[in-house]
């Protein structure tokens, strides 16, 4: 049985918009619900998963991706509530310490995999990171967790072929901004049509810049896309590109907001949809999973689905009647998906054999 490592930033609850007097979907209840679910269902101490304590990250770890001026701004915002860190982002007095601890958990999750202590890992952390660029925060994200980990693995462990895959409903625009000219990091973001969802960036035409043309892939899934469309895209693009790129490790930006119950987006993945993507990835490569978005009531269930997929245990019974779900969809979803897939393949044709 595969070994799966877990990390968790215990101080995350100190990053809470309610401390500033207003509610936000990205709040401590998300991670609290996940931990409660894992505990209640006996996943914390059944011998399958190993929890690893993590040191907080150092400033030099953060500076591999972010500018000094940006980090100073974030620190200043924690001390002066009149300063703003960016759009759709909040900070509290303890947020900087929480962020360093979260990144520390991310680095530890990478380390246990690269040192072969585990086949795969999952960093249960918040806030998320994939919208944060080198000097920008947005969409609840302040430090780019996967970007910092990729640069750490390259600098400290000498990895030179790292893949970052985003399955959050929102595009991984921050990660794209970090690596759009870097052919040693392949970025694939599978997200909702960007004419219909924040951050309105990450279009099919965006495939990176020289010398990394073709090494950033943005797939826009039409609203209501679900398990069949994700499976086709995985088989026809993701797996083929990964087999050619041959990554030494995969960092999975795992948002749970492509789930059919998500209120902030309009995709229709079910637990089997998530399971199949992650099971297929984990069957071929070592995966470091990083928690990104997801703002519905099933975050605990979804986390257990991912953990089971990483371990390779039998699939969990789906809670959705696929026939009903398919019947309720607008017929144009598949047509739009096919058009997007054809357009993307045409864009990627000079760089990958699809």
- Binding region for Zn ion (CB under 5 A): 168, 170, 255, 257, 293
- Whole-number minimum distance, CB 48 to Zn ion, in Å? 28
In the complex with Zn ion, the residue whose CB is nearer, 207 or 291, is 291
Token pair 């040693």: residue: 184
Cβ(127)–Cβ(99) below 8 Å: yes
Q: Could you tell me the strand order of the sheet in which 216-221 lies?
A: 49-51, 4-8, 120-124, 287-291, 249-254, 162-166, 185-192, 216-221
- Whole-number minimum distance, CB 122 to Zn ion, in Å? 17
- Whole-number minimum distance, CB 299 to Zn ion, in Å? 12
In the complex with Zn ion, the residue whose CB is nearer, 78 or 138, is 138
In the complex with Zn ion, the residue whose CB is nearer, 163 or 169, is 169
- Whole-number minimum distance, CB 139 to Zn ion, in Å? 7
DSSP letter at 13 equals G
In the complex with Zn ion, the residue whose CB is nearer, 182 or 253, is 253
In the complex with Zn ion, the residue whose CB is nearer, 170 or 201, is 170
Question: Closest residue to Zn ion, Cβ-based?
Answer: 293
Cβ(15)–Cβ(92) below 8 Å: yes
Q: List b or e across 46-84, with b for residues whose CB sees 16 or more CB atoms inside 10 angstroms.
A: eebbeebebebbeeebbebbbeeebbebbeebbeeeeee
In the complex with Zn ion, the residue whose CB is nearer, 120 or 170, is 170
In the complex with Zn ion, the residue whose CB is nearer, 16 or 168, is 168
Residues 6+ apart with CB under 8 A from 101: 9, 10, 11, 12, 54, 56, 57
Cβ(187)–Cβ(161) below 8 Å: no
- Whole-number minimum distance, CB 354 to Zn ion, in Å? 27
* Residue 162, strand partner residues: 185, 249
Q: In this structure, what token pair is assigned to residue 221?
A: 């899934």
- Whole-number minimum distance, CB 180 to Zn ion, in Å? 20
- Whole-number minimum distance, CB 182 to Zn ion, in Å? 23
DSSP letter at 145 equals H
């Amino acid at each position: 049985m595969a070994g799966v490592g877990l990390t968790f930033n215990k101080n995350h609850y100190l990053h809470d918009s309610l401390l500033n007097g207003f509610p936000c979907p990205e709040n401590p209840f998300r991670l609290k619900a996940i931990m409660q679910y894992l505990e209640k269902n006996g996943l914390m101490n059944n011998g399958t998963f190993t929890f690893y304590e993590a040191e907080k990250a150092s400033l030099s770890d953060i500076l591999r991706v972010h500018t000094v001026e940006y980090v100073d701004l974030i620190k200043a915002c924690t001390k002066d509530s009149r300063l703003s860190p960016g759009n759709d982002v909040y900070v509290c007095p303890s947020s900087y310490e929480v962020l360093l601890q979260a990144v520390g958990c991310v680095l530890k999750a990478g380390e246990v995999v690269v040192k072969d202590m585990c086949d795969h890992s999952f960093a249960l952390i918040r806030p998320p990171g994939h919208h944060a660029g080198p000097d920008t925060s947005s969409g609840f994200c302040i430090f780019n967790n996967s970007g910092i980990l990729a640069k750490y693995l390259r600098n400290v462990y000498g990895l030179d072929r790292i893949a970052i895959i985003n399955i959050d409903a929102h595009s991984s625009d921050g990660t794209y901004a970090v690596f759009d000219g870097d052919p040693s990091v392949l970025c694939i973001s599978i997200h909702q049509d960007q004419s219909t969802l924040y951050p309105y960036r990450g279009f099919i035409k965006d495939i990176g810049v020289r010398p990394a043309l073709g090494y950033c892939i943005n797939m826009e899934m039409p609203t209501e896309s679900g398990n069949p469309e994700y499976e086709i895209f995985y088989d026809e693009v993701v797996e083929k590109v990964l087999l050619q790129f041959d990554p030494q490790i995969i960092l999975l930006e795992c948002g749970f907001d492509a789930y059919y119950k998500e209120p902030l987006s309009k995709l229709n993945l079910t637990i089997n949809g998530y399971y199949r993507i992650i099971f297929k990835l984990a069957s071929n490569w070592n995966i470091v999973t990083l928690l990104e978005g997801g703002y519905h009531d099933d975050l605990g269930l979804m986390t257990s689905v991912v953990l089971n997929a990483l371990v390779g245990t039998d699939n969990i019974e789906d809670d959705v009647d696929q026939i009903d779900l398919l019947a309720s969809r607008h017929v144009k979803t598949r047509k739009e998906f096919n058009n997007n897939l054809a357009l993307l393949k045409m864009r990627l044709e000079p760089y990958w054999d699809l």
